[in-house]
Amino acid sequence: MEFGFAFPIRYVHVWLGLTTLVLALLVLALLATERRRRERVERFVEANLRDRLTAGRSVVSRRPLFWFTVVGSFFLALTFAQPRWGRAWQEVDRLSRDIMICLDTSESMLAKNPLPNRLERSKQKILALIDRAPGDRYGLVAFSGGAELQCPLTHDQGYFRAVLNAVDTDTISYEGTDIAAALHEATEVFKEDAEQTGDYNKDARAILLISDGEQVAGDAVEAAEEAARYARVYVIGVGDPNGAEIRIPDLVRRTTRGGGEATHLSKLDEDTLIKVAQFGQGGYIRTTPDNRDIEEIHGHIERLAARSADSDIRFHLVNRYQWPLALAILCFAAEGLWVAVLPKFRYWGRRFRSPREGVRGHA
């Protein structure tokens, strides 16, 4: 029979380790409490009178309390793990956020810093983000000296990936880098979507700008402030503040008069990108060799409000948390009942002992 938990099955050993640790600490705490209780009783009651005066409060009569607490705590931990077995058809709501990606396709993105070049690394980062949030809607704006919508907001990842792979430095014919134009284009998409759906909640929308920040036209900060009315603006800076050399023929499609090739030092302009993120009420991070930058951006996006996109009927493992929860409640209820019954043991203990001792039972 297939079995599962709320977490991936490969993490069962982690849950078992943590549960064992918590139960071990609980057992030590209970034993220490019982030892202190016994010491207090021995401090005030003579040894030969202890059993008579504390009938119903002996270690043996209190031992079930220990086991009720430990077993109940184990079932409570199992409840939080949400064991699942057996399959049934269930309606599943798909939650979604809207993410418009503005990708810099200017010639400076061909700098081999980082490798293979800034543009290809940016594409890799976008695909990594999609893998982490496959339920969101994605759109794509490519920009250099101008900006054009390449892919409208869509759940069709196959189409989005195909469009993304086709984007290069020839996609936009205008030379330069106009971040403001890209933000305006993304803002118009969200503005039209808000008017059509009636949903003006900017906390369910995000603009992800990926660029080296070498802006040569437009006011990116002003555009980010306007975009913040409809979405939060997050920025990934690609490149190195120290710069990387780019051949001018690759940058502006021409050679020097002497027939030689001049170079241009392309630097990551973090000051501009940080301001864009601040006025866009989002966040900024520089690209990293691993996907730590995507993890951070994904964390920000996950905190945005999600809305129901659609629903589907799927064959899922059934969550059986009610069973361990019922057992935990039963154990804790039995513990309370045992505490209520304990005083009766003292009374019964006196009655059964008195005939053998030849005296009338008394306190």
Closest-CA residue to 118 (of 321, 269, 329): 269
Q: What is the pLDDT of residue 361?
A: 44
Q: What is the pLDDT of residue 256?
A: 43
What's the Cα-to-Cα distance from 143 to each of 65, 127, 186, 216, 230, rounded to whole Å? 70, 18, 11, 12, 20
Closest-CA residue to 190 (of 250, 137, 129): 137
Return the biggest CA–CA distance within the chain: 126
Structural contact between residues 204 and 100, judged by C-beta atoms closer than 8 angstroms: no
Q: What is the pLDDT of residue 305?
A: 81
Q: Take residue 287 and report the two structure tokens written for it.
A: 């690209």
Q: What is the pLDDT of residue 213?
A: 82
Per-residue pLDDT of the chain (363 residues; tens, 9 = 90+): 677 888 888 889 999 999 999 999 999 999 998 888 777 767 766 555 555 555 555 667 778 889 999 999 999 999 999 998 887 766 555 678 999 999 999 988 988 888 889 999 999 999 999 998 888 999 999 999 999 999 999 989 999 999 999 999 999 988 888 999 999 999 999 999 888 888 878 888 999 999 988 776 678 999 999 999 999 999 999 988 886 666 655 445 444 444 445 676 778 889 999 999 999 999 999 999 889 999 999 999 888 887 765 555 555 678 899 999 999 999 999 988 888 877 666 555 555 555 555 544 444
Rg (CA), the chain: 34
